[in-house]
Amino acid sequence: MPAISSPWLAVGLGAVLVGLVAALLFSGAAGARAVSDPGALVRWGLPVAKALHNVSFATVVGALIFAVGILPRSLSGRKGRDTDEPEHPAFTRVLAVAAAAGVGWTLAAVAVLVLSYSDIAGQAVAGDPEFTRSLVYFMTDIDTGRAWLAVVIIAAVVTTALFGVRAPGALAATLVLALAGLVPVALIGHSASSNDHEGAINSLGLHLVGVSVWVGGIIVLALLSGVLAGAGGPGDRGRSDATGPALSRFSSLAGFAFVLVFASGVINASIRISTWADLAGSAYGQLVLAKTAAVLVLGGIGLMHRRWIIPQLDGNGGSLSARRVLWQLVLAELLIMGATSGIAVALGRSAPPQPTTFAPDASPAFILSGYELPPEPTPERWLTEWRLDWLWVAVAVFGLVSYLLGLRKVRQRGDSWSAFRTVNWVIGLLVLTYITSGPPSVYGRVLFSAHMIDHMALTMVAPIFLVLGAPVTLALRALAPRRDSSRGPREWLLVFVHSKFSQLVTHPLFAAANFAGSIILFYYSDAFGYAMREHVGHELMNLHFALTGYIFVLTMIGIDPLPRRAPYPMRLLLLLATMGFHAFFGVAIMGGTGLLAADYFGNLGRTWGGSALLDQQKGGAVAWGIGEVPTLLVAIGVAIMWSRSDARESKRTDRAADRNNDADLTAYNDMFAQLAERDAKLAERNSKLEGR
């Protein structure tokens, strides 16, 4: 049976080093410095350590993705929690690969941490106490050191878990934790100080996610090439062979990853390269071109997999020639990806054409927010002032594409789907994009009143349209259930819907308390200032309020499946309570005399508009006035649903009466007749007793 042998896997790792060395020599990034040179060991060792870190991290992510959502868990293909069921050899191998790669990831992260300090300090690695004290200071007080220390901790925790975790839910949680290791990496480097630093950070983060999924998946495919066919008996081969399903499932995921890698790479490069001369005339730009060409070639190979190889892999793994070509293409991808990964590390060590440091005369607004003050807001500028948040743009695009693909599957099957729900979903995504990337976001960074418009729209306007789109219901109709022991998107969606966590956060009382109470906790704590100053805090704020609003509206008017739904009277009471709470919050802000996040809003150097305190009081009026309208609309929606529910119940009762000739009504009347007869007999008996 064709497979990729171990020597070729070693060649793939060698391609990483060859690409790295060639790119470093071409760009001169590993050359000796005139001042504070840390030595050749650090200049060459740091990029090599980063390359090994990237490869091992991608392998961990790819292996966990295969274990969680691609490979069958059991050899027989039967679902269930029977611990005596033998594992599929590919599942066993992929967890072993993940654990080994986790060890490599942890060691490489430690090496990067130490060598990064030596590189920044401009001194060679040493074992003396002074070096150790300075290294500890670097890890605890310098952003780069703290970031790599966080990566080391995450890698160590993930690796420890990989040696003992076997349950699907625990593996999924481990995957999420591993992906969290990308956040510190995205926050440091060139992106952290670019002119559009938030756009650069977000595009880099999306790029790293796509690369990790894509590259890690190819590495895992190569490592599993000899065991994907399973280990069943002579008559069990078709049932245990996982080559075709694994490749088909990963191909769909790799398609999304390719689009994400290419689009985010173009965006990130355009932030650092503003002219064609910089692109073609600088070593940095030429490395970007080489990397782009390699990504396009890899995309072409992936298309060959999808159009030619996968259709030839039937339930028994396909013909021998098809399998041979399959693994040859995977090997080619592995080699090209290895060289490209080396180029990517060299890019991170090379200076981009655009400066990545603050100008000496940077304005207070630029220092605090990362951007210059926008012009004074006018009605026209509430439509034209945009600053794309690529993270939320990616969320919106993914949501739109996934919804339309699901809609196409449902329609192809002959089922119907309401155009009203489709239109609401599209409108909700457009509103979400406008809120997170448009004028509310731009002016929300310098005006509290605009920030409150942004907040109220994010938590109370966009969720209404998104909930009416019923995405979970569409997904459950469109996604096909898995026939083997693996868990696909549909299975994971059902697991999440019925999970204890879902039961908690979607409980009507919890959802209402979270919807109303988190406002107080956020604005009257240091979390508000952190969200305004720090990019991570800002994105977490957007995520929290979007999810909070979505879950609350879902419990009120959604049709998507929930563990528990409140009766309609309780829903109206909860809506009235939240309306009152928002009014109280708005009045408190309007009457407040202390500036919230004063070290931020009070130091922006704004030259137009009223004072920061007056603007904050205006924001309180926004919270009181605008915040009530969407809640009132939701209350009207609940009333309409209540009325329709009663009408449906009446129709159901009438149909039941027609079927049984009003048996329920007859029985009801008979009961009263019997009661009346009994009362008459009692009255007659009492009268006889009184006559005596």
Query: How many domains does the structure of the chain reveal?
Result: 3
Q: Would you place residue 669 in the very low, low, confident or very high pLDDT band (cuts 50, 70, 90)?
A: low
Domain end marker among 349, 372, 397: 349
**Do residue 305 and residue 344 come from a single domain?**
yes
Per-residue model confidence (pLDDT) at position 1: 42
> 388 and 513: one domain?
yes
**For residues 692 and 687, what is the distance between their CA atoms, to the nearest angstrom?**
9
DSSP 171-238: HHHHHHHHHHTHHHHHTSSGGGGSTTHHHHHHHHHHHHHHHHHHHHHHHHHHHTTTTTT----TT-HH
Residue 271 lies in a domain: yes
Residue 410 belongs to some domain of the structure: yes
Tokens 């990019």 appear where?
535
Ramachandran angles phi, psi of 442, nearest 5°: -60, -55
From residue 374, give the alpha-carbon distance in Å to each of 17, 452, 562: 45, 17, 43
Among the listed ranges 347-356, 501-510, 515-524, 668-677, which one has the minimum average pLDDT value? 668-677
CB atoms within 10 A of CB 338: 24
How far apart CA 568 and CA 583 sit, in angstroms, is 23
Q: Do 194 and 124 fall into the same domain?
A: yes
Token code pair at residue 456: 């109220």
What is the 3-class SS of 26-56, one letter each residue? HHCCCCCCCCCCCCHHHHHHHHHHHHHHHHH
Distance set, CA 301 to CA 328, 333, 358 (Å): 11, 7, 42
Task: Say what the pLDDT of residue 225 is.
Answer: 82
Is residue 329 a contact partner of residue 255, using CB atoms and an 8 Å limit?
no
For the chain, the first-to-last Cα distance in angstroms comes to 108
- What is the Cα–Cα distance from 499 to 506, expressed in whole angstroms? 11
| pLDDT score recorded for residue 235 | 41
Q: What is the pLDDT at residue 62?
A: 95
Residue 333 shares a structural domain with residue 427? no
Are residues 671 and 605 both part of a single domain? no
pLDDT digits (tens, 9 = 90+) for 537-587: 999 999 999 999 999 999 999 999 998 888 889 999 998 888 888 888 889
The number of C-alpha atoms within 13 Å of 248 and in the hemisphere containing its C-beta is 14
The residue behind tokens 């009762």 is 653
On the 0-12 / 13-18 / 19+ scale of CB atoms within 10 A, 330 is buried
In this structure, are 232 and 170 located in the same domain? yes
The residue-averaged pLDDT of 605-622 equals 90
- Other CB atoms within 10 Å distance of the CB of residue 26: 15
Residues 394 and 308 in one domain: no
The 10 Å Cβ neighbour count of residue 420 is 11
Question: Is residue 254 one of the residues assigned to a domain?
Answer: yes
664 and 640: one domain? Answer: no
pLDDT score for 82: 47
Q: Which pLDDT value is given to residue 241? A: 65
> Can you state the angle between helices 243-272 and 283-304, rounded to 10 degrees?
160
529 pLDDT higher than 70: yes
CA distance 46 to 113: 9
Looking at 102-116, 285-299, 439-453, which range is the least confident one? Answer: 285-299
Pairwise CA distance, residues 158 & 46, whole Å: 23
Do 330 and 440 reside in the same domain of the chain? Answer: no
Domain-located, residue 655: no
Q: Of the ranges 235-249, 340-354, 395-409, which one carries the lowest mean pLDDT score? A: 235-249
Q: Cβ distance 245 to 103 under 8 Å?
A: no
Q: In the chain, what percentage of residues exceed pLDDT 70? A: 87
Q: Which of 349, 373, 391 is the last residue of a domain?
A: 349
**Mean pLDDT on 490-500:** 92
% residues pLDDT > 90 (the chain): 44
Summarised one tens digit per residue, pLDDT across range 16-29 is 889 888 988 888 88
The two structure tokens encoding residue 574: 């909860």
Pseudo-torsion of CA 175, 177, 178, 183, nearest 10°?
130
Amino acid 675: pLDDT: 72
425 assigned to some structural domain: yes
Q: How confident is the model at residue 238 (pLDDT cuts 50, 70, 90)?
A: very low
Summarize the confidence of residues 71-80 as an average pLDDT.
72
Residue 313 — very low, low, confident or very high, per pLDDT cuts 50/70/90? Answer: low
Rounded Cα–Cα distance for residues 361 and 655 (Å): 78
Which tens digits make up the pLDDT trace of 138-186? 999 998 999 999 999 999 999 999 998 889 999 999 999 999 999 998 8
**What pLDDT is attached to residue 396?**
96
Q: For the segment 256-309, what is each residue's pLDDT rounded down to a tens digit?
A: 999 999 999 999 888 878 778 778 778 888 888 999 999 999 888 888 877 777
- C-alpha distances (whole Å) from 144 to each of 47, 148, 200 are 15, 6, 17
- Write down the mean pLDDT value for the chain: 85
CA nearest to 537, candidates 188, 183, 177, 272:
183
Residues 184/535, Cβ–Cβ less than 8 Å: no
- 371-409: b (≥16 Cβ within 10 Å) or e: bebbeebeeeebeebebbbbbbbbbbbebeebbeebbeb
Say if residue 371's pLDDT is above 90. no
| Confidence band for 328, pLDDT divided at 50, 70 and 90 | confident
Q: At what angle do helices 320-349 and 197-223 cross, to 10 degrees?
A: 150
Q: How far apart are CA 119 and CA 161, in angstroms?
A: 32
| CB neighbour list of residue 15: distance below 8 Å, 6 or more residues apart | 334, 335, 336, 338, 339, 342
Q: What is the pLDDT of residue 275?
A: 79
Closest CA to 176 of 474, 511, 492, 562: 492
Residue 530, pLDDT score = 92
Query: How far apart are the C-alpha atoms of 492 and 176, rounded to whole Å?
Result: 14
636-659 pLDDT, tens digit per residue, is 888 888 887 766 655 665 555 555
The per-residue pLDDT for 358 is 59
The widest CA-to-CA distance across the chain, in whole angstroms, is 128
403 and 335 both lie in a single domain: no
pLDDT digits 0-9 by tens, 590-602: 988 889 989 999 9
Shared domain for 332 and 386, answered yes or no, is no
Asked, for residue 294, whether it belongs to a domain, the answer is yes
Does 626 lie in the same domain as 518? yes
> What pLDDT band is residue 380 in, cutting at 50, 70 and 90?
very high
Sequence-distant (≥ 6) Cβ neighbours of residue 299 within 8 angstroms? 258, 262
Task: Report helix, strand and coil shares of the chain as percent, to nearest 5.
Answer: 75, 0, 25
Q: Determine, yes or no, domain membership for 1.
A: no
| Exposed / middle / buried, residue 300 (Cβ in 10 Å: 0-12, 13-18, 19+) | exposed
Q: What one-letter code names the amino acid at 403?
A: Y
- For 23, 56, 79, 358, 373, the CA distances from 333, given in Å and listed in that order, are 19, 17, 33, 40, 46
pTM above 0.85, yes or no: yes
Helix, coil or strand: residue 73: coil
Residue 362 lies in a domain: no
Given this model, what pLDDT does residue 239 score? 45
Domain range for 100: 6-76+86-349
Give the pair of three-digit tokens for residue 171: 């593996």
Return d(Cα 600, Cα 597) in angstroms, integer: 6
Tell me the mean pLDDT in the region 490-494.
Answer: 93
Instruction: Return d(Cα 162, Cα 416) in angstroms, integer.
Output: 44
